[in-house]
Each structure stands twice: as structure tokens, then as C-alpha cells.
Structure 1
Amino acid sequence: MGGDGGFRVLAGVDGSAPSRLALEWAVTEARLRHGQVRVVTAWEFPPVTVGTEGLVRDPDVFPQTARRLQNEALKRVDSEGLTVTGEVVQGNAAAMLLRAAENADLLVLGSRGLGGFTGLLLGSVSTQVIHHSPCPVLVVRTRSRTGDE
């Protein structure tokens, strides 16, 4: 349990359906344990290869988009009566979540984010976090009616 007496739940949010579900779960868990929620959204500049340098005209679009995705997710959950803080950080999502998890009692994240391989059960971020987290991890998976994610 957190050193300040409150249970600290960390939620990783990237705007995907599984991350929004993870945030809902994190808020519910914090409410049950009389705790607080810290939401972390990480962003990175996309890799640039020869010939693509001019495609990104406004580098501020990345942190702005991350902030917008986080704000939209926060608006969708009922966090009344809870302390919920949000943070948008630049860096690799797994690395940023692992760093933030050092001060958490539980880390909640979605099984799949906005990355490329949709058929996988776990994404690269959730896989890395599961193996290296300093606190317990809950990976939330969505269910679809067709069986596909």
C-alpha cells in the first residue's frame, strides 16, 4: 500500500478501447480501496527514414494529440469523489509506465494499444510491462461479439 496510506492505481491510456476499459477498471479499483488514480499517456516522435523528413510539419501535434486522447478518456469515466491526476510524457510507453509504476501499488493497462499487430493477445507494451513491473499488473482485455479484437 502507498506510503501516504492511500492505494495508488496507475493506468496507462493511449486512447484505444482496451486502455479506456483499463481506466474504468482502475477508477473502480481505486474507489473500492479508497485510493487514487494516476493516468499516464506516453507519446513518441515517429521514426523518420530517408525521404519522409517533410511529412511531419508540426512536431507539437504529438503531445497535443496525446493530451486530447487522455482528456477524452478521462471525460468518459465517473471519477467523482476520487483523486485522479493525468500526465502526458514523451518517451517509450513501456519505459514510461515502468518508471511511473515505481510509485504505484497496481498498474492497469489494456491488452492491446493502438499499435500494428491486432491479432495478438498482448501488445508489446503490455508484454514488456508484465515482465518488468515493480508492482502488480492487471491487463484488461476487451471482448467483442465476433471474437475478434
Structure 2
Amino acid sequence: MRAVVQRVSRADVTVEGQVVGAIDGPGLLALVGVTHDDTPEQAKRLAAKLWGLRVFDGATQGAPEASCSDLGAPLLVISQFTLYGDTRKGRRPSWIAAAPGPVAEPLVDEVVAELRRLGAHVETGVFGADMKVSLLNDGPITLILEV
């Protein structure tokens, strides 16, 4: 599993003109991609990594850095198969490494479910939909996570 994570001041996702998920930060926006051999255990590890990622100012917690779990910060999780696009050859990406919907959707759902089990407030997009994502990157901080 792969995720592009951005620390945000706010973020939202719209489908067909309707906001389906939004966070008013500070929080994290996580674009999550799944490949063919990913497992539910990897989904749980990714959720734990997102929940514990120390990218926030933690001065109020007495530490130099803090995580979503330290601050109770929300997350917006959006599926994104294009994270497994291969652009090494030619001008057209290959999507061979991206898992098909029936494989990917339950694993993205597992990331969200595990975050919620850990105590996170999580908003989501709509799997497979044409989504419009708006965000205000804070920092900017953008990281790539792989589990």
C-alpha cells in the first residue's frame, strides 16, 4: 500500500457538486493506493502509521512534534489508484500495478475502519467516483508512505 500524505489546514472532496467529506484542520489528507498483493494487515499498519505520524507542532503537548493521535486531528482518506501508475516508458501511464476495485476498495475501507478503531475522526471520498479535492497544504508538508 502506498499513500501520499499532506498536512493540511483544511481539505474537502466533492462528487457531482456535493461535498462528501471535509476536515477543518489541522489534519491530514491521505491519498491511498493499493496494489495486487496488499493485505488487510498492511492496511492496519498504514492506518497506525497515519495516526501516529509526528508532523504537527506539539508545543502544547510538551514535545517538539505531535501526531493526529496526540492532537485528535482529523483525517481525510481518499482512494487513488493513480499512485501505482508507471510512467517510466512513453508518455502514457500504465495502471497494471494498481489493484482492481474489488481488491482495492475493501483495503481502503480497512484503513478507514482501523483509523476509526484507533479513535480517529475520518472523512472519506467515494471509491471509484470522479472526485474534486480541495486542500490548503500547511507547511507545505507532503510525504510518501509505503507499507
Q: Which gives a bigger RCO, structure 1 or 2 (Cα 8 Å, sep 6+)?
A: 2
TM-score by length of 1: 0.42
Question: Which structure: greater strand fraction?
Answer: 2
